[in-house]
Amino acid sequence: MIEVRSLTKRFGRVTAVDGVSFDVPSGVVTGFLGPNGAGKTTTLRMLLGLARPTSGTATIDGVPYARLPDPVGAVGAVLERSGFHPGRRGRDHLRTVARAAGIPEARVDETLRLVGMEQSGGRRVGGYSLGMRQRLALATALLGDPDILILDEPANGLDPQGIRWLRDFLRAYAAGGRTVLVSSHVLAEMSQTADAVIVIARGKVVAQGQIAELAAPSGAVEVRSPGAERLAAALRSRGFGVEAGSDGTLIVTGAEPAEIGDLALSEGVAIHRLAERAASLEDVFLELTGEEATPG
C-alpha cells in the first residue's frame, strides 16, 4: 500500500508538485497519468527517497522508502532516467545491484529470463536499443522479487510487441496480489493496462478513480437518418436536446435509444445508425488536464 499525503516539491519559484495526495491499493494496476511536465516523475522520485519533498509525506507500507528494512525486496522501480554504464554488460549491471542488495546471483539469470533477455545479457549496454534498456531496467527492478512495482513511463522506446508484452506482464504481476503503479502520458496505453488511474496536471491531482468510472457514458446518443430533419423536429417537440451534425447525423441528449427508435417508427423515418456515445477516456483526460489536442 502506497500512501501519498500533501506531497509538495518546489524548485526555486516553480512548484513542480503541489499538495498531491493519493493511495495505491494492492492487487491492481494503478495508472499515474498526466501530460509531460505534470509532476509525475518528481512525485515518484520523492516516493522513492531520491528527492526530498518540500513538504508532505509519501510512505510505503507505512514508512518512508528510506526506512524500509529491505527496500529492494519491497519495491522495484523503473525510472525514466535510470541509467547504465555503457561499457558494462547488462548481466554485470544486475550482478552489481544484486551484490549490494545481498541477492544471490542465480536470481540475476532468472530476471534476465523474465524479461526475455537471456540472449543479450552478455552484451555491453552501450549497444542496446532503447527497448532493451527498458527491459534491463525492469529486470533490475525485479531482482528483489518486490511486492510493489513502480514504473515511470516504461513503454517509452518499446515497439508495439514490447508494449503488449509489458502490459501482459504488469497485469499478471498485479493479478498475483501485488501492487503496480505505472506512469504514462499516453492515455491509450493506460486504458488497456490500468484498473484505476490517478490523473495529475500542473502538479495537482485532478481526478482519481476506476477507469470505468472516468469513462462513463456521456448520456448522448448518436443517430443517423435520411429523415434527420423530421426526426430532429419530433425529438425537440418532446423536449430532448438535439444537435444536428452533417450528413444526417444527430446528437441527442436526454433520450434513451429505445425512445428514439420508437419515435422514428411512429414518424415513419428510417434509422441508419443508433449508438450510445461513451465519453472517450481521451476526452476526459484532455478536459481534466486542460490540455488542448495539438495536431501532430
Partner 1 sequence: MTRLVSAELLKLRTTRTALGFLAAITLLTLGLQAIGYATLDAFDEADLKQMLSGAGAVTALLLVLGIVATTGEYRHNTITSTVLVTPDRRRIVVSKLGAYVLTGAFLGLVAMAVSLAAGIPWLSARDISLDALDTGDYAGLVVGGMYAAALAGGIGVAIGTIVRNQVAAVVGTLIYLFVVEPALTLIDDEVYGYTIGGGLGAVSADTGDNLLDPVPGGLILLAWMVVLGAIGAALEQRRDVV
Binding site for partner 1 (CB under 8 A): 45, 48-52, 65-68, 71-72, 75, 77, 79, 81-89, 92-93, 95-97, 99-102, 140
CA dihedral over 250, 256, 257, 259, signed as positive or negative: negative
b/e burial code for range 75-94 (CB count within 10 A of at least 16 → b): bbbbbbeeebeeeebbbbbb
Considering the complex, what minimum distance in angstroms separates the CB of residue 87 from partner 1?
4
State the residue for C-alpha cell 528527492.
Answer: 51
Please check whether residue 246 is in contact with residue 185, taking contact to mean a CB–CB distance below 8 angstroms.
no
First-last CA distance in the chain? 38
Considering the complex, what minimum distance in angstroms separates the CB of residue 250 from partner 1?
53
Residue closer to partner 1 by CB (options 78, 255) is 78
Considering the complex, what minimum distance in angstroms separates the CB of residue 5 from partner 1?
20
Dist. CA 276–CA 219, nearest whole Å: 7
Q: Which three cell numbers stand for residue 127?
A: 549497444
Q: Which residues pair with 55 in a beta bridge?
A: 8
Residue closer to partner 1 by CB (options 99, 273) is 99
Strand order of the β-sheet with 55-60 is: 14-24, 2-11, 55-60
Considering the complex, what minimum distance in angstroms separates the CB of residue 95 from partner 1?
6
Dihedrals φ, ψ of 39, to 5°? 110, 10
Considering the complex, what minimum distance in angstroms separates the CB of residue 102 from partner 1?
6
Residue closer to partner 1 by CB (options 143, 187) is 143
Residue closer to partner 1 by CB (options 141, 194) is 141
Residue closer to partner 1 by CB (options 19, 73) is 73
Residue closer to partner 1 by CB (options 167, 178) is 178
Amino acid found at 220: A
Strand order of the β-sheet with 179-184 is: 75-78, 148-152, 179-184, 29-33, 196-201, 204-210
User: Three-state SS for 194?
Assistant: coil
Residue closer to partner 1 by CB (options 26, 82) is 82
Considering the complex, what minimum distance in angstroms separates the CB of residue 59 from partner 1?
13
Considering the complex, what minimum distance in angstroms separates the CB of residue 228 from partner 1?
57
